[in-house]
Amino acid sequence: MFDSLEIIKENSHEDASLRLQELIGKFIQDNEKFSLGLSGGSTPRFFYQNFANTYQENSDISLWTIDDRHVPINDEISNQRMINEIFSKTKMNILELQFNENPNMSADEYSKLVLSKIQNFNSAILGVGDDGHIASLFPNTTAMNNKSIGFVANEVNILSKWRITSTFELLSNIENVYLLVTGENKSDILKEIGKDNGLPVNQLIKHRKKTVLVTDQKI
pLDDT single digits (tens) 9-22: 999 999 999 999 99
Start-to-end CA span in the chain (Å): 11
Q: Would 210 be classed as within a structural domain? A: no
Cβ–Cβ under 8 Å, residues 120 and 33: yes
Q: Is the pLDDT of residue 159 over 90?
A: no
Q: 128 lies in a domain?
A: yes
Tell me whether residue 65 is in a domain.
yes
Give the residue from 40, 54, 57 showing the smallest Cα distance to 180: 40
pLDDT > 90: what percent of the chain?
95
Average of pLDDT values for 147-175? 93
Q: Residue 82 domain-assigned?
A: yes
d(CA 190, CA 187): 5
The CATH number of whichever domain residue 74 belongs to comes to: 3.40.50.1360
Residue 133 belongs to some domain of the structure: yes
Confidence check: pLDDT of 160 > 90 = no
* Global confidence as pTM: 0.95
Domain that holds residue 101: 13-181
Residue 162 lies in a domain: yes
Whole-number pLDDT of residue 28: 97
Structural domain count, the chain: 1
pLDDT tens, 117-132? Answer: 999 999 999 999 999 9
- Residue 209 placed within a domain: no
Statement: residue 158 has pLDDT above 80: no
* Per-residue confidence (pLDDT) for residue 219, from 0 to 100: 82
Instruction: Provide the pLDDT for residue 157.
Output: 73
Determine, yes or no, domain membership for 52.
yes
Q: What is the predicted pLDDT for the residue at 1?
A: 79
